[in-house]
Amino acid sequence: MSVEAGRILFCDYDGDFAFAEDLSRVGFIVDQIRPDALRQVGIGDHQVFVFSFGEAETLPKVLKTAEKLKFAELKTPMVLVARTSMGPDFLNHQKSKFPADAYISNPLSEAVVLDALDELIGCPIPSHLKSARLFTNVESEEDRMIQGLKEKVQALEAQLKGQSDQAAQQERDALKPKLKALLEGQKLQFQTEAERLKVALSEIEAKLLDREAKIKDMSSQHEKAQATLREFYMNKLKQLEQEKRDLEKKTSES
C-alpha cells in the first residue's frame, strides 16, 4: 500500500550523502544537511531523521547526538546508518538508555535503508516494488522467479521420466518369475506337455506384446505430457520476461 511522500532530514557526517538520492528517487522528500546545521532545523518539520556516517572515529559523535535528541524527548524517529562495519559498540547502543529507532550497519544496497524507513513512516511506493528490485545492482525478483520455474520444469521432466522407466521395469520384473516357472523342468515331458507349453508360451508372448504396447502407449502419453508441460512453462517464462521488460521500461520512463 502506498503512502504520501514523507519528509526526511538526511544528516551526513562525511558529506557523502550515500542513499539520499535514491530515497528521493523513490518518492521521499529529502533535506540534506551537515551536522553543524542541526541547530537550524525546526522541530516537527520532518517525519524522520537519518544520520549517516562512514568513519569509525565519527561513531561517538553520532551516538552522542542521538542521545541528546532522545533525552530532549524528540518524538521524531531516528535512523543511524553506518556505511561500514563499526564493531559491537554501534549495535549495542540499541540497549542504551536513549537508543535510536533503527540501526543499519554496512548496508549492501539502498533496499535495507528503504525497508527501515518503511517500518517507521511508511513508503511512498507500492510494497511489491520495494527493496532490491528497484536497483540494478541487486538480482531482481523476476530473475529469481524465472530461474525457479526453469528448475521446476527440469525437476518435473526428470520425475516423469523416472516414473515411466520405473513402471516399465516393474512390468518386466513381474513377468520374469512366471516365465522362469514355466520353463523349468519342461524338457523331459511328453510331446503333449510340450504342445501345452507352447500354447502357454504363446499366451505369455501375447501378454508381453500387449504389455509392451501399453508401455509404448504410456511413453507416448508421457512425451505428450512433457511437451504440454514444457509449452506451459515456456509460455509462463515468456510472459514473466515480457512483464519484466514492461516494468523496466516503466521504471526507466518514470
What are 33-47's pLDDT values in tens digits? 999 998 888 888 899
List, in order, residues 6 or more apart from 127 with CB less than 8 Å away: 1
pLDDT above 70 coverage of the chain, percent:
82
What is the rounded average pLDDT of the residues 68-78?
A: 90
Q: What CATH topology corresponds to 7-138?
A: Rossmann fold (3.40.50)
* Spans of all domains in the chain: 7-138, 143-253
CB 54 within 8 A of CB 19: no
Whether the predicted pLDDT of 194 surpasses 80: no
Taking CA atoms, 57 is separated from 11, 54, 87, 140, 172, in Å, by 17, 9, 12, 36, 77
pLDDT at 138: 43
Mean pLDDT, the chain, as a whole number?
Answer: 80
What are 77-106's pLDDT values in tens digits? 999 999 998 888 999 999 999 999 999 999
CB 48 within 8 A of CB 72: no
Eight-class DSSP state of 41: P
pLDDT at 132: 44
pLDDT at 137: 40
d(CA 18, CA 28): 15
Q: Which of 24-38, 84-98, 146-160 is the least confident region?
A: 146-160
Binned at pLDDT 50, 70 and 90, residue 157 comes out as confident
Only one residue has cell 532545523, namely 41
The whole model's pTM is what? 0.49
